[in-house]
Structures are given as structure tokens and as C-alpha cells.
């Protein structure tokens, strides 16, 4: 194993026997538990892969291969890997990450009302926090697409895969569907493109993937655009209002620029950020919304390059501040 390894018994102890009380989230490929490693006292997130599910073992190997070679402040950092057998003698695979105390972007955009009552007041992100998170995620994608030795495509960017640390800095995680671009470009045969088309999550996956097109950085940019529009509107792309040809992209596009206030998350309009007036907020909302619309265009070549996204978002932030 290329990482520092940790024993199964250490993870069993850290998570109180993988108890339901330590469960953070259960996904299709595996479950994530909060734990404290006895040997160093560090709070961690332990992702246990469900090896009974087809593709889970491959996802484990993919994440290992990716996280061994990529390092960036806006990517989740892996600390240990574990590959062994559990108490029943079955194969066991897990990755141990830094624990992100503020959870996922999903939890902040669409808070669980019951959980809100357990913490100090309702969770809410103001405009500058959302803008900073958007810049963090764009920086992570820019690194993956343009700064790695071999370009990397995440393939499953969505709010639940954006994690927030104690300073509300965003970290992109979950590389179980990742593709190295040379690997993706080799998969042009008809027998394999159909499986490529299944990559990602409904609402966030690029439309060309649905017809079997190859994985590309353009696909990540589409997902990012949808993520950005969701951050501005507070609406998931799968919201029940989107039907009969209306979708999140067209919903925002039709509102630009004069009616952006009508589609913006009401939480962004009930406060005046950092002493800024309504005009400043609206100007910033228009700038971010335009970027989200450009990124989520139907045809890949019409989308913005992620490095341009970083530059435009930083310009919007400078104008706002």
C-alpha cells in the first residue's frame, strides 16, 4: 500500500466498532464514520468501502492512485489506508481522511431542520462565504485539470462532495469515479463509452455523458456550473419545479440580468453583507450567475475554461469587497 497504513483494529476502536452513532454519511460505494485514532488522538473521517457493491474495490484503488499523486489545499487530504480483513474474516478496505468539522456544502445549502435545532442557530452561508467556497472549488478543479502531470477529471462534483473545514475553507473529496485523462481518452470504443456515460450524479452529470461521450474536463466544468447556480439559487437541479423543459440552467439564464433577485436564494437578500448595499449584492449575484450559466451550457465547447472561472470569480470578489 503506497500510503501510511493503519490496522483494522485501530479503526474499529476509533469508530466505536463502526457504530451508528459515529456514522456521518452512508453512500452507495461505502459509509463514512467519525473517529478518534487512539495512537495520536487525531479526529478523522473513515470511509469504509462496501465491497459487496460492484465497482467498490475499483473505487478504492482509484482513490488511492489519485490521492497518492495529487496534493492541493482545496482537496481532501488522505492520512492512512487500510486493506485487510474484518472480524468476520471478510475483505476490508478503508481510507482515513482529515475530518472536516463543518461537514459538506450540501448540509449548508439544504440544512436538515432537526439537526439545526441541535446546533447553535440555523446554518446559513452569506454571499462572501459562498463566493469564497466557489473560488476554493474552482481552484481545486484548476489544479486537477491544468496543473497535474496528467490531467484529472473528478467526474462527480456536487455539494455533498465539497467539505468544509473549521475556517470554512472548501475541500473537494470523493475521487471514486475519477479518471486520468489519458485513461479516459483511450476509452473511445463503443463497448466502453456506454459505461462512461453512467458517470456522475443525476442533475450534475454533463448531458453529453448521457449519450456515451468520453469523460473530459468539460464535464467537470458543467457540474461546477450547476453547483454554482445551486449556491446562488438555493435550489437543487433535481428540484420538483424543474420540469417541462425548465431546468436550473435555463431558470437562471432567463432571469439575467434584470431579474436575478427573483431567482436568488432569499437568504442572500435578507442581510447586507459586510456593510455592502443591495446594489453591490445584486451586482455580485449577476457576475456569479453569469459564470454558472456559461459553465453549464449544453455543448462542451461553449463552456468556460476553469482557469478563466477562477480569474472571473476573483474579479467579482474584488469588486464586491
Which ranges constitute the DSSP H helices of the chain? 8-14, 56-69, 105-109, 113-118, 127-142, 181-185, 190-196, 217-233, 248-253, 260-263, 278-295, 306-320
User: Can you tell me the mean pLDDT for 266-281?
Assistant: 74
What is the pairing mode between strands 152-153 and 179-180?
antiparallel
Cell 493503519 sits at which residue? 6
* φ/ψ (deg, to 5) at 95: -120, 145
Q: Say whether 100 sits in a helix, a strand or coil.
A: coil
Whether the per-residue pLDDT at 65 is higher than 80: the answer is: no
Contact predicate 43/96, CB 8 Å: no
User: Can you tell me the mean pLDDT for 195-200?
Assistant: 53
Say what the pLDDT of residue 15 is. 96
Please give the positions annotated as active site: 156
Query: For 105-320, CATH number?
Result: 1.10.510.10
What's the rounded Cα separation, in Å, for the pair 61 and 63? 6
Say what the pLDDT of residue 184 is. 52
Whether the per-residue pLDDT at 275 is higher than 60: the answer is: no
User: Can you tell me the mean pLDDT for 40-64?
Assistant: 88
Whether the per-residue pLDDT at 185 is higher than 60: the answer is: no
User: What Rg value do the Cα atoms of the chain yield, rounded?
Assistant: 20
What's the rounded Cα separation, in Å, for the pair 189 and 39? 49
Report if pTM > 0.85.
yes
Burial degree of 301 (CB within 10 A; 0-12, 13-18, 19+): exposed
Say what the pLDDT of residue 176 is. 72
CATH 1.10.510.10 placement within the chain: 105-320
| Alpha-carbon separation of residue 99 from 14, 43, 59, 103, 111 (angstroms) | 13, 6, 20, 9, 19
- Residues above pLDDT 70, as percent of the chain: 89
Residues β-bridged to residue 104? 163
What's the rounded Cα separation, in Å, for the pair 161 and 177? 12
Burial degree of 168 (CB within 10 A; 0-12, 13-18, 19+): middle
Residues β-bridged to residue 49? 30
Whether the per-residue pLDDT at 236 is higher than 60: the answer is: yes
Burial degree of 206 (CB within 10 A; 0-12, 13-18, 19+): buried
What's the rounded Cα separation, in Å, for the pair 92 and 14? 16
> What is the helix (H) or strand (E) element at residue 116, kind and residue range?
helix 113-118
Q: Say whether 7 sits in a helix, a strand or coil.
A: coil
- At the fourth CATH level, the homologous superfamily of domain 8-98 is Phosphorylase Kinase; domain 1 (3.30.200.20)
- DSSP string of 164-219, one letter each residue: E-TT--EEE---TT-EEHHHHHT--SHHHHHHHTT-S-TTTS-GGGGGTPPP-HHH
The Cα angle at residue 69 between residues 30 and 147, in degrees rounded to 5: 115
CATH 3.30.200.20 placement within the chain: 8-98
pLDDT band at 180; cut points 50, 70, 90: confident
pLDDT digits (tens, 9 = 90+) for 99-127: 999 999 999 999 976 554 555 567 889 99
Amino acid at each position: 500500500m503506497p500510503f501510511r497504513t493503519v490496522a483494522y483494529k485501530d479503526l474499529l476502536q476509533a469508530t466505536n466498532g463502526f457504530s451508528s452513532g459515529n456514522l456521518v454519511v452512508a453512500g452507495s460505494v461505502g459509509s463514512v464514520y467519525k473517529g478518534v485514532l487512539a495512537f495520536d488522538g487525531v479526529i478523522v473521517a473513515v470511509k469504509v468501502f462496501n465491497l459487496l457493491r460492484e465497482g467498490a474495490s475499483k473505487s478504492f484503488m482509484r482513490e488511492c492512485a489519485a490521492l497518492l499523486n495529487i496534493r492541493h489545499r482545496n482537496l481532501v487530504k488522505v492520512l492512512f489506508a487500510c486493506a485487510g480483513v474484518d472480524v468476520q474474516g471478510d475483505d476490508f478496505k478503508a481510507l482515513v481522511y482529515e475530518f472536516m468539522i463543518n461537514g459538506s456544502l450540501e448540509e449548508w445549502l439544504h440544512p436538515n431542520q432537526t439537526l439545526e435545532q441541535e446546533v447553535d442557530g440555523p446554518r446559513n452561508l452569506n454571499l462572501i462565504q459562498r463566493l469564497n467556497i466557489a473560488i476554493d472549488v474552482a481552484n481545486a478543479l484548476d489544479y486537477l485539470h491544468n496543473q497535474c502531470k496528467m490531467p484529472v477529471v473528478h467526474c462527480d462534483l456536487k455539494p455533498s462532495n465539497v467539505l468544509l473545514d473549521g475556517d470554512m475553507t472548501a475541500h473537494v473529496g470523493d475521487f471514486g469515479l475519477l479518471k486520468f485523462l489519458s485513461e479516459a481518452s483511450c476509452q473511445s470504443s463503443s463497448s466502453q463509452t456506454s459505461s462512461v456515460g453512467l458517470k456522475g450524479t443525476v442533475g450534475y452529470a454533463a448531458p453529453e455523458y448521457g449519450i456515451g461521450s468520453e469523460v473530459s474536463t468539460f464535464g467537470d466544468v458543467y457540474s461546477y456550473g450547476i453547483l454554482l447556480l445551486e449556491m446562488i439559487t438555493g435550489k437543487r437541479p433535481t428540484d420538483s419545479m424543474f420540469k417541462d423543459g425548465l431546468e436550473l440552467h435555463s431558470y437562471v439564464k432567463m432571469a439575467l440580468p434584470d431579474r436575478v433577485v427573483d431567482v436568488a436564494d432569499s437568504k442572500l437578500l435578507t442581510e447586507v453583507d459586510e456593510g455592502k448595499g443591495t446594489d453591490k449584492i445584486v451586482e455580485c449575484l449577476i457576475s456569479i450567475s453569469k459564470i454558472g450559466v456559461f459553465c453549464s451550457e449544453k455543448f462542451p465547447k461553449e463552456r468556460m475554461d476553469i482557469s478563466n472561472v477562477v480569474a472571473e470569480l476573483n474579479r467579482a470578489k474584488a469588486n464586491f469587497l
